[in-house]
A and B are shown apart, each in its own frame.
Chain A
Amino acid sequence: MILYLARCAAQFAVALVGIVTVAFFLMRAIPGDPALYMLGDFATAEALATLRARLGLDLPIWQQYGVFLLRAAQGDMGVSVVTGQSALAEIWAAVPPSATLAVAGMAIAICFGVPLGIIAAVRQGSAVDLAVMLLALGGISFPVFWLGLVAILTLSHALGLFPALGATSEPGFWKGLHHLALPALVLGLSVAAYIARLTRSAMLEILGQDFIRVARAMGVPERRIVWHLAFRNALIPVLAVIGVTFAWSLGNAILVEAVFSRPGLGSTILKAILSRDYQLVQAGVLVLAAAVVLLNTALDLIYGAIDPRLRRS
């Protein structure tokens, strides 16, 4: 177990270094200059050079990369060139609203996607199955920003059920939840579509297995067969798709945050990219990547708990 955890930690580190490296070079590959952005278009060449030297941007890129890695290894992701604050602290401040949205979206996706997928599988070929699959096709096909706009127009503007703004400064749990509802629903439904489709196909496969026929021959009630005996088998592929869609829904969360004017990692990183705030982007990418890798590591451990054959000795 200790060995396994050590291997997980090593994989985690390698994945993070890789992702941060890509972010480092990508940011420097796009045109633009943070010094120019800070000082404006009328800055003197001399002032620009001074600032560039202060930011370390005059060094060769390999040297910059070396310095960056060395500092990052010590937990120092640098300082935002725009605000002068620690980049990691600034990103960290944007995490709670994004995490809330992501978790709420995932919860909605699972609560809708898994049962709908199971029902569609059990009633394969029926009108219910067709309806669920059409809905899922829609959820996958329509981009999330479009769904967001439609949700605002209908549920918020026409029916007045939810506020169009995805966040509020007013205190109170219920108030916050009311504002969170629409963005979480939009984010969740697009993921729910994937989960429903995958749950359906996983359940169909499992329900055709010999051990299900055995359970039927032994007189186990159908309800028990579907929701207990078959479902636990289908859980592995379902969890796998949850792991994959989580990364994808973090990307969607950025769009949803923009549509619903919600603060969070999305808007923070977007602003950082536009202002060529290298440190802030790198810190943001690091946090997002860590979230994805951590979730998938956790899922790996859960797989072992569900299916003994996947357990590592």
Chain B
Amino acid sequence: MSTMFELRNLTAAVPGEAGPVRLVEDVSLQVQAGETLAIVGESGSGKTVTFTSALGLLPKPGRVIAGQALLEGEDLLQLSPDALRRRRGARIGMVFQDPLTGLNPVFRIGDQISEVLRAHLPISRAEARERAIALLARVQIPDPTRRVDDYPHQFSGGMRQRVLIAMAIALGPRVLIADEPTTALDVTVQAQVLDLLTDLREADGMAMVLITHDLGVVARQADRVAVMYAGRVAETGLVEEVFRAPRHPYTISLFRSIPDLESPAGTKLAPISGAPPDPARRPAGCAFAPRCFAMREDAGCLHERPSLTSDHHAVACLRAGLLEVAS
């Protein structure tokens, strides 16, 4: 297996009153060909910012202040804006959260797909249209020859997400980043869209990054998972490993906070108390310390920022080793 996409120590920030405010800090991740890496974490944990900044899509005045984003070994952050544009969409595709606002309301579906094709390929309108129809068929939109001339408002939410997926895979990218692709959809449609993404990934051998906050989705669709908290990776490893034996107190708390069919009736869910820290006021030590059940002052939790271990199932917690012994 070869590494398709890799982030190395990525740090992105926005200017603040007291120097740059780091939205994501020192994020290192990698995803192999044919593999799905799930990124989980609560809202504001930096899941989306990590990947928009890697693609040069972070809205101003945000910017990447350190790190690398390697697409098949090439650092995207060193490219000129135009070179980066030519990689985006062509070699790395992205699907966003809300399909209802993701399509341009005043252009036909076919024209929007053609726009993407023609941004990268020297093909005629007619040719682009043919390919758009083929792509609509590929994402299982019924009657694509007729639907290609419809406008976004004539499609349901699930169908619109299929159109956006068609745009994202239009040029056969090696990496597909799906940012909460099903959050805005009905539950019944969610599974269909996720299955479609998995089928496409398998057929094309793409590497997929699936950003989600749904642990059920992670269990079903992903090979590996990275748990993010307050702009950093808290824990990462194979899905089975992380689900069987979570090492970071945050991950452990996450599992305790979701209902489980196998737990005895009457078991209470344990919500994580408190709220994630404001990026401008992160604690000096571990960002999770104020909410952590395992926090111990004498372990340095309040002063020392834990770094991610380098083993296969990596964790960023000063108490991780002790916790395992205890349990």
A contact set with B: CB distance below 8 Å? 209-211, 213-222, 224, 229, 232-233, 306-309
Task: Decide if B119 touches A307 in the complex (CB within 8 Å).
Answer: no
A309 (CB) vs chain B CBs: closest residue: B153
Is B89 positioned at the interface, with any CB of A under 8 Å from its CB? yes
Chain B residues closer than 8 Å to A214, beta-carbon distance: 96, 102-103, 164, 167
- Flag whether B303 is at the interface (Cβ < 8 A): no
Q: How many A-B residue pairs have CB under 8 A?
A: 77
Residue contact A232 to B87, C-beta cutoff 8 Å: no
A219 and B90: CB pair below 8 A? Answer: yes
Assess the B57–A233 pair: CB atoms within 8 A: no
What residues of A have a CB within 8 angstroms of the CB of B170 in the complex? 218
Do residues A219 and B86 form an inter-chain contact, with CB atoms below 8 A? yes
Q: Inside 8 A of B87's CB, which chain A residues have their CB?
A: 219
Residues of A close to B107: CB separation below 8 A = 229, 232
Q: Is the CB of A210 within 8 A of B106?
A: no
Is there contact, CB below 8 Å, between B96 and A215? Answer: no
Q: Are A218 and B93 in contact (CB under 8 A)?
A: yes
Contact of B89 among A217, A222, A224 (CB under 8 A): A217
A228 to B, closest residue via Cβ? B115
Closest 4 CB pairs of A and B: A219-B89, A218-B89, A210-B101, A219-B88
A222 to B167, CA, bound (A): 17
| B136 sits at the interface (CB 8 A) | no
Decide: A308 near B153, CB < 8 A? Known: A214-B103, A214-B164, A220-B89.
yes
Chain A residue nearest in CB terms to B177: A217
In the assembled complex, the Cα of A255 lies from the Cα of B296 at a distance in Å of 80
Q: Pick the contact of B106 from A217, A219, A220, A233 — CB < 8 Å?
A: A233
Contact-residue bracket for chain B: 20 to 34
| Given A211-B104, A308-B153, CB of A229 within 8 Å of CB of B115 | yes
- Cβ–Cβ contact B106 & A218, under 8 A: no
Cβ contacts A to B, 18 pairs, < 8 Å: A210-B96, A210-B101, A213-B96, A214-B96, A214-B102, A214-B164, A218-B116, A218-B119, A219-B85, A219-B89, A219-B116, A219-B119, A221-B85, A232-B107, A233-B106, A307-B105, A308-B105, A309-B153
B96–A306 touching, CB < 8 Å: no
Which of chain A's residues have a CB closer than 8 A to the CB of B151? 308-309
A interface majority secondary structure: helix
Q: Are B101 and A215 in contact (CB under 8 A)?
A: no
Give the complex CA separation of A16 and B300 in angstroms: 81
B37 at the interface (CB under 8 A from A): no
Is the beta-carbon distance between A220 and B103 smaller than 8 angstroms? no
A309 to B89, CA, bound (A): 28
Question: How far does the alpha carbon of A232 sit from the alpha carbon of B107 in the complex, in Å?
Answer: 9
- Return B82 CB to nearest CB of chain A, in Å: 8
B220 at the interface (CB under 8 A from A): no
With a cutoff of 8 Å between Cβ atoms, the chain B residues found around residue A213 in the complex are: 57, 96
B282 CB within 8 Å of chain A? no
In the assembled complex, B242 has its CB within 8 A of some CB on chain A? no
Nearest Cβ on chain B to A91's Cβ, whole angstroms: 40
Most buried by A among B57, B115, B168: B115
Is A233 a contact of B104 with CB atoms below 8 Å? yes
Residues of chain A lying within 8 A (CB to CB) of residue B93: 217-218
A217 to B179 Cα, complex, angstroms: 12
A216-B57, A219-B88, A306-B106 given; A224·B119 CB < 8 A: yes
CA distance A232 to B108 in the complex (A): 12
A217 and B101 within 8 A (CB):
no
| Interface: B120 (CB within 8 A) | yes
- Point out the residues of chain A lying under 8 angstroms from B132, CB to CB: none
Given contacts A215-B104, A217-B89, A218-B119, 10 further A-B contacts (CB under 8 A): A211-B105, A217-B94, A218-B115, A219-B89, A220-B89, A232-B104, A232-B107, A307-B106, A309-B105, A309-B151
Which of B88, B101, B164 sits near A216, CB closer than 8 Å?
B88
Contact of B55 among A209, A217, A224 (CB under 8 A): A217
Question: Do residues B90 and A217 form an inter-chain contact, with CB atoms below 8 A?
Answer: no
Q: How far is the CA of A194 from the CA of B87 in the complex (A)?
A: 40
- Inter-chain CA distance A64–B107, complex, in Å, is 54
In the assembled complex, which residues on chain B have CB atoms less than 8 Å from the CB atom of A221? 85, 119
Whether B42 sits at the interface, judged by CB under 8 Å, is no
In the bound complex, CA of A224 to CA of B112 (Å): 12
**Complex: how many Å from CA A224 to CA B104?**
13
Q: Is B26 an interface residue (CB 8 A)?
A: no
Known: A217-B88, A219-B90, A308-B106. A211 touches B101 (CB 8 A): yes
- Say whether A220 contacts B105, CB under 8 Å: no
Q: Which of B93, B102, B104, B116 is most buried by chain A, counting CB atoms within 10 A of its CB?
A: B104
